[in-house]
Amino acid sequence: MMANCFGYTRVRQDDVTRPVCREGTGMDVNAMFPNAPYFTEEERIEFESYSAPERTYECRHSFMQITKEYYYDHVR
């Protein structure tokens, strides 16, 4: 059984959006996270560890819990 699911929320994208945040929102492709901006709980933990150095200071994005149905309806 799959754990909780999360969506990486999009805030306005502009010239100060960090590259790792563009990956988290699915705007830029990262093979490590092919379903971005949708994450299982395990993927969310992995992404947060991977992106922590860039997201430490004033990141404008966050994770919101979503239903498993929403996750399955929206993953690529």
The answer to whether 25 touches 8, Cβ cutoff 8 Å, is yes
- Rounded to two decimals, the pTM is 0.81
Range of the domain at 43: 5-10+17-74
Count structural domains, the chain: 1
Eight-class DSSP state of 35: T
The one-letter amino acid code at 70 reads: Y
Encode the chain (76 residues) as per-residue pLDDT tens digits: 455 888 887 666 677 788 888 898 888 999 999 999 999 999 999 999 999 888 877 778 888 899 888 898 988 6
Neighbours of 7 (CB within 10 A): 20
Locate tokens 């929403």: which residue?
70
